[in-house]
Amino acid sequence: MSENLVRLEVADGVGTIRLDRPPMNALDAAMQDGLLAAAAEVTERRDVRAVVVYGGEKVFAAGADIKEMARWSYTDMVDRSVALQAAFTAIARIPKPTVAAVTGYALGGGCELTLACDLRFVAADAKLGQPEILLGLIPGAGGTQRLARLVGPSKAKDLIFTGRMVGADEALAIGLVDRVVPAGEDVYAAAVAWAAKFASGPAYALRAAKEAIDRGLSTDLDTGLELERQQFAGLFATDDRTTGMRSFIENGPGKAAFEGR
């Protein structure tokens, strides 16, 4: 998978999309292609029920490969920007719960990659930001859109206009991340523990919930409610719905053994 720059590792229902381009996991074209391939694979594999995106113990991803980008012309970027956004959109559209496990830096494209995940768990000393303005650019892999939807337009504009980095505590306070893992604890282990909750969950109900939320956010309330209604009704065709209701009646809540069908 892109010469192992992006690897998929699967254990106990959890797939880890592992970035591995030392020293900073710069997201060059090959890495972007690897993300696209990894997203396609975890989407198709039935043995993957939830996904962790992880850059390793030292750094998540410090941004794009600036040396590579500096060589590109306008027409080069017109062509490449489509593939760039497609890679991050593919991660966002994985129809399973996803969480980014962030160590070190998640800047520029690295921050945008975390935004494409459902949740973000970060180490206490992590730094996040969108510093593209310092290069005379703006975020180009979803930052202006996903960040604003996550933290609100004013906070997104502050981060994007200034290009400043934020620490874990500020990121948590503004809603950019969901959990700060204390120093000395393993952020990856925390992310895997969260993802493992869904390894035996109702796969199609989780998929329906994710699609209803994500697609509903991009439309008006009435359309969103219609999306929800269709997804809700459709789940009555699944075996898991039958299993869940029978288990609730016979044994009480939270005891169903789902098969993901």
Return the domain boundaries, the chain.
6-196, 203-251
Is residue 41 annotated as a catalytic residue, yes or no? no
Token pair recorded at residue 192: 């895997």
pTM equals 0.93
Predicted confidence (pLDDT) per residue in 242-254, tens digit:
999 999 999 998 8
Positive or negative, the CA dihedral 81, 87, 92, 93 is: positive
Region 205-233: mean pLDDT is 95
Q: Taking the domain 6-196, which CATH number applies?
A: 3.90.226.10
One DSSP character per residue, 52-111 reads: EEE--SS-SB--B-HHHHHT--HHHHHHHHHHHHHHHHHHHT-SS-EEEEE-SEEETHHH
Is residue 3 annotated as a catalytic residue, yes or no? no
Predicted confidence (pLDDT) per residue in 31-51, tens digit:
999 999 999 999 999 999 999
pLDDT at 2: 47
Question: CA angle 120-43-228, nearest 5°?
Answer: 75
**Class of the CATH-defined domain 203-251:** mainly alpha
Reported confidence tier of residue 168, pLDDT bands at 50, 70, 90? very high
Active-site choice (39, 61, 64, 123): 64
Active-site choice (15, 132, 142, 191): 132
The answer to whether domain 6-196 and domain 203-251 are alike in fold is no
Active-site choice (13, 109, 129, 140): 109
Is residue 104 annotated as a catalytic residue, yes or no? no
Is residue 56 annotated as a catalytic residue, yes or no? no
Active-site choice (112, 123, 143, 191): 112
